[in-house]
Structure 1
Amino acid sequence: MRLVTTMQLNLPALEMQTLFDALPDVVFFIKDREGRYTHCNLTLVRRLGRKQRSEVIGNSPLDVFPLPLGGSYLMQDRRVLCGEVIDNQLEVHLYPNRLPGWCLTFKRPVCEDNDVIGVVGVSRDLGQPDNRHSAFERLNTVMEFMQKRFGENLRVQTLADLAGLSVAQLERHFRRVFQVTPQQLLTKLRIEAAMRLLHGEDSIASIGQQCGFADQSAFARQFKATVGMTPRDYRTLRG
């Protein structure tokens, strides 16, 4: 497990914050052991609908995000404060003044003398696919297949065969072209469909089944891990 020490972090923290201010597609933050923001870039400030960084600093996710999102983000931070590393986690972020946006989140514990004293992290927006990549056409065929069949039990080997690639080649090219793995793209397609269907009248169990989840429990777990709340909470929030 790779930790971030205060020697690596404290001195350049303000410089890091300023550097990340220039990146409109990346959210950057540092939090203390209570989960309160000590540093954040202007991208996060703007997405929260705030005008000044001071409106975020000193607050926890509970103070700046609506429930149940704030609680979910705080629980994620507590896992990191216990030493867990969150790497390349696909998430949907729901900000008060923005449409839902997909990102990849990375979080690391900040340590001092072997004690975890905070969290440092970034969330990077998913960009457009790289259509200049040599494998783009083959991968685009796979993506179109997944868009039509995401409700089925798709195997990565099946997708690799469709592209005429090995599984390792498929996963490597997917990361380069789409910035995610085939499994992450499948999750993205399923969750996007579920979010649309939750605006309707179908039961949560039916929606999970339509979107390719084995049962309602598996659907609820994946939805909460990705969106930050349960399907029921999302339906209530967006209703």
Structure 2
Amino acid sequence: MRISADELEHLFDALPDVVFFVKDDGGRYTHANQTLIRRLGLKRRDQIIGSTADALFPSSMGGSYTMQDRRVLAGETIDNQLEVHIFPNRSSGWCLTCKRPLVKRNQVRGVVGISRDLGQPDGRHPTYDRLRQVLDYLQTHYAEPVRVHTMAKLANLSVAQLERHFRRVFQVTPQQWLTKLRIEEAMRLLHGDERIAGVGLACGFADQSAFARQFKATVGMTPRDYRSMVKGCQPQAADSGIGLAATG
């Protein structure tokens, strides 16, 4: 028995911490759950259906989501990509995004995806206390080169055990957590006036190019666009009333 996209849409309506969507081969939404509707600051599903990410999100973010869709329509699968969602009140939240090609008769006909909010750690897991030592180390050393073997030694685990238990407790890999710390600090510093290249170096990125690539992949816009947005220099994001919230 197969479940239709309509049935999945209604099923995902009941999950406030998960965004669900389906798009056709032109990147136009055919299905969207209530979470996506709310996070876009909209009221009805028909305000989304038939539109592309470019039409619903500010240009810097919409373009990033459209590029993701093109990769998936070319056959790529995006699995548990760590991303920042920026909500209408400019607060941010972390999520894991999955996008997969919809294949019919051996041809890619569209995109199906979910984006789930990063949940609270599982503090009852037997390795939680040891993994907390890794978190404390990363919090202190995020701006430095960090080796996974160093993290494994701190937790008294093998590298494979560290990866497995870390994902079980925190839903992400140690490297993703390190990226999270670096991007959070970069977002904080971009509220100030330090040069963007200096922000990247202060957050552990080797150069401005590496910083810009990782920031855009995670936040959906360049560091410069993010700085313009938080300083109120991007009217499209500030005045439209449309949230920057959910992965497109």
Aligned length, in residue pairs? 231
The percent identity for this pair of structures is 67
Deviation (angstroms), 1:58: 1.0
Q: Retained in 2: the 8 A contact 1:35–1:61?
A: yes
Q: Report the alpha carbon displacement of residue 94 of structure 1 after superposing the two structures with TM.
A: 2.2
Does the C-alpha gap of structure 1 residues 77 and 95 become closer, same or farther in structure 2, counting only changes over 3 Å? farther
Query: What is the aligned counterpart of 2:169 among 174, 177, 194?
Result: 177
Which one is further off, 178-187 or 106-115? 106-115
The residue that corresponds to 2:227 in the other structure is 235
1:35, 1:118 within 8 Å by CA — same for their partners in 2? Answer: yes
1:19 is aligned to 2:8: no
Match of 2:217 in 1: 225
Counterpart CA distance in 2 for 1:94 and 1:121 is 18
For structure 1, the 5+ residue unaligned runs are: 1-6
Deviation at 1:98, TM superposition (A): 5.8
Deviation at 1:111, TM superposition (A): 1.5
Shift of 1:91: 0.7
Task: Give 2:181's aligned amino acid.
Answer: L
Partner deviation per Cα, 1:91-143 (whole Å, 9 max, x = no partner): 11224356211111100111122211100000011001111111111101110
Instruction: Give the alignment of 1:90-109 within 5 angstroms.
Output: 90-97=82-89, 99-109=91-101
In 2, the alpha carbon distance for the partners of 1:221 and 1:13 equals 33
Give 1:70's aligned residue.
62
Q: Please list every run of 5 or more consecutive structure 2 residues that lacks an aligned counterpart in the other structure.
A: 232-248
Number of the residue aligned with 2:129: 137
Query: How large is the Cα RMSD of the aligned pairs?
Result: 1.3
In structure 2, C-alpha distance between the alignment counterparts of 1:94 and 1:63, rounded to whole Å: 17
Provide the rounded CA distance (Å) in 2 between the counterparts of 1:203 and 1:176.
Answer: 38
Return the alpha-carbon distance in structure 2 between the equivalents of residues 96 and 81 of structure 1. 29
Distance 2:86 2:106 in 1: 34
SS in 2 for 1:83: coil
Structure-1 separation of matches of 2:95 and 2:69? 17
Q: CA deviation at 1:60?
A: 0.7
Matched, 1:216 2:221: no
Query: Is the partner of 2:59 in helix, strand or coil?
Result: coil
Matched, 1:89 2:48: no
Whole-angstrom distance in 2 between the partners of 1:48 and 1:121: 16
Higher RCO (CA-CA < 8 Å; seq separation 6+): 2
Structure 1 segments, 4+ long, off by >6 Å, are: none
Q: CA deviation at 1:144?
A: 1.1
> SS where residue 68 of structure 1 aligns?
helix
Q: Tell me if the contact between 1:65 and 1:96 (Cα under 8 Å) persists in the aligned partners.
A: no
Secondary structure of the corresponding residue to residue 20 of structure 2: strand
Instruction: State the secondary structure of the residue aligned to 1:54.
Output: helix
Q: Distance in 2 between matches of 1:187 and 1:228?
A: 14
Contact 1:47 1:97 in 2 (8 A): no
Give, as a single letter, the amino acid of the residue that structure 2 aligns with 1:65: F
